[in-house]
Amino acid sequence: MVQRSKTTSVPTAAPTADRPQPDMPTIRDATPADLNGILAIYNHAVAHTTAIWNETLVDLPNRAKWLADRQALGYPVLVAIGPGTALVPAGVVGYASFGDWRAFDGYRYTVEHSVYVSADARGQGVGGKLMAALVERARSLGKHVMVGAVEAGNAPSLALHRRLGFVQTGLMPQVGTKFGRWLDLAFVQLQLNEALPLR
């Protein structure tokens, strides 16, 4: 696993495709033009990680529908735009989103998020920047709790969530499987505000 780089960029050096620019990544709402980057990152996670418990690759229309559905509900899909990587030349180096945690009305102030960073852009703070922006969006929508369901062996994800103030509130042993082994699911959650619901 790539660790966070301790080096800083030299201000006078010209930006290149393989060296992060000082103001990158920028975080913004996704548009359909970002779908190729989102698709590449998603499918890489499906094929190579236990971050998502699914072994079926998806196509562009699948991600386009996902983006449209999220945005139709008023929920954010944020992308991190970097200088591009070997895996994601389009410049989308990560993305994050949330949706309803569970369908019943009583859960309407709780959302469940996901965050993915291109494999060759990890450990540089991209995930942290995406998550900080996502948390702000959840607060501005009046949400109360943000939940993450994390494979219990996913140390970088658990470290990232801890740093952002998430606490682990559940651990479900062997509720999933991938790559020929059982997977444990850890639930982490962040209290977004203290206010009681208005309705």
Chain contacts with ligand COA (rule: CB under 6 A): 1, 3-4, 45, 49, 51, 115-117, 122-128, 148, 150, 154-157, 159-160, 163
Q: Which residue lies nearer to ligand COA by CB, 86 or 142?
A: 86
Q: Which residue lies nearer to ligand COA by CB, 122 or 143?
A: 122
CA–CA separation, 138 and 111 (whole Å): 8
Q: Which residue lies nearer to ligand COA by CB, 117 or 192?
A: 117
Smallest distance, Å, CB 12 to ligand COA?
25
Smallest distance, Å, CB 14 to ligand COA?
24
Smallest distance, Å, CB 155 to ligand COA?
3
Give the position of tokens 């699911």.
185
Answer whether 73's CB lies under 8 Å from 97's CB.
Answer: no
CA–CA separation, 50 and 37 (whole Å): 20
Q: Both ends of the chain: CA-CA distance in Å?
A: 45
Q: Which residue lies nearer to ligand COA by CB, 51 or 81?
A: 51
The residues with which 95 forms a beta bridge, in sequence order, are: 79, 116
Neighbour count for residue 186 (Cβ, 10 Å): 19
Smallest distance, Å, CB 71 to ligand COA?
21
